[in-house]
Amino acid sequence: MNENFELENMRQQMNTLKKKLEQQEIVNDRFIRHSMEKTAGNISRRYYFIMAVCLLMIPYSYWAFVKLNGFSIPFWIFTCITMLVSFGGTFYNSRKLGDSNMMTNNLVDVRRRMASAKKFDANWLLIGIPMAIVFLGWFMYEAYLLHPNAFFNGLFWAGCIGGVLGAIWGFSLHFRTQRQYQEIIDQIEDITAE
């Protein structure tokens, strides 16, 4: 009898403990901030890679298009402009990530910056897709001028395959970046909603 009372008493005490703990929230602010910082770092690294590719493409395109294949200088200048515009846009958006110190800044402010960066990144397609179409069209035209009687030569197919692969790669990067921005925004909303 005494034994059962003791054990029953212990179970009640356990229930009391559980009730007290259930009312508590885990102080997980820093954990979530770390997770956000990791995601933002991932986007930043991708931006740095894109910026490096854009800059490298300027001398490379001169060698590959003008020197090697004999494309026109205006086409190379247009390629340079395309790359510089891409560099500028990426650099502008990367600054929003760089300025957002995830571990210390006000989360509402970080969320605002992330939403703005996500929107800019989404709107970038409005510039990026027409630029890519013009670039590819001009590329085909240049190839046609060089080889008017052999339209289906290697250069034409290289352009087609490169264009398709580039589009797939670009879209996959774009959607991954969009998804990661949304993850950061969702995580901030999770914290600030508490």
Nearer to another protein, 55 or 183 (CB): 183
Q: How far is CA 86 from the centre of its chain?
A: 14
Does 67 engage in binding with another protein (CB under 8 A)? no
Per-position x/- string for 26-65, each x denoting binding to another protein as judged by CB under 8 A, each - no binding: xxx-xxx-xx------------------------------
Q: With respect to another protein, which residue has the nearer C-beta, 2 or 149? A: 2
Tell me if residue 70 falls in helix, strand or coil.
coil
The DSSP string of 122-143 is HHHHHHHHHHHHHHHHHHHHHH
State the minimum distance, in angstroms, from the CB of residue 174 to another protein.
19
193 near another protein, judged by CB under 8 A:
no
Q: Should residue 145 be labelled a site residue for another protein when binding is judged by CB under 8 A?
A: no
Kindly state the smallest distance separating residue 76's Cβ from another protein, in Å.
43
Q: Candidates 25-33, 45-53, 72-80, 153-161 — which segment interacts with another protein by CB under 8 A?
A: 25-33
| Three-class DSSP category at 194 | coil
Site string for another protein, 172-191 (x = CB under 8 A): -----------x--xx--x-
Q: Does residue 21 bind another protein (CB under 8 A)? A: yes
**Cβ–Cβ under 8 Å, residues 121 and 115:** no
Give kind and range of the element (H or E) at residue 175. helix 154-193
Does 1 bind another protein (CB under 8 A)? Our answer is no
Residue of 64, 137, 129 whose CA lies nearest to 145: 137
C-alpha dist (Å) from residue 19 to 15, 23, 24, 26, 143: 6, 7, 9, 15, 75
